[in-house]
Amino acid sequence: MKEFKINLSKGEVLYTGSYICALSKTPASTPEQISLEAAAEKLAEELIMQQAMNREHQRQQEIAVNQFRQAREEIQRLTKENDRFRKAFHLFANMKTVRTAPELVIQRYSRYAKELLEGRGLEGDAE
Domain range annotation of the chain: 4-81, 94-127
Q: What is the pTM of this model?
A: 0.54
Distances (CA, A) of 87 to 82, 84, 94, 106, 113: 9, 5, 11, 16, 10
pLDDT confidence of residue 53: 94
Average pLDDT over residues 11-25: 83
How distant is the alpha carbon of residue 70 from its chain centre? 11
Q: Which of 43-47, 79-83, 94-98, 99-103 is the least confident region? A: 94-98
Residue 24 CB neighbours (<10 A)? 16
> What does the pLDDT read at residue 29?
84
What's the gap between Cα 49 and its chain centre? 25
pLDDT value at residue 98: 45
Identify which of 52, 46, 54 has the alpha carbon closest to the alpha carbon of residue 11: 46
- Whether the pLDDT of residue 126 is over 50: the answer is no
Question: How much is the pLDDT for 8?
Answer: 85
- Helical residues (DSSP H) of 25-119, grouped into ranges: 36-93, 101-117
For the segment 22-31, the average pLDDT, to the nearest whole number, is 85
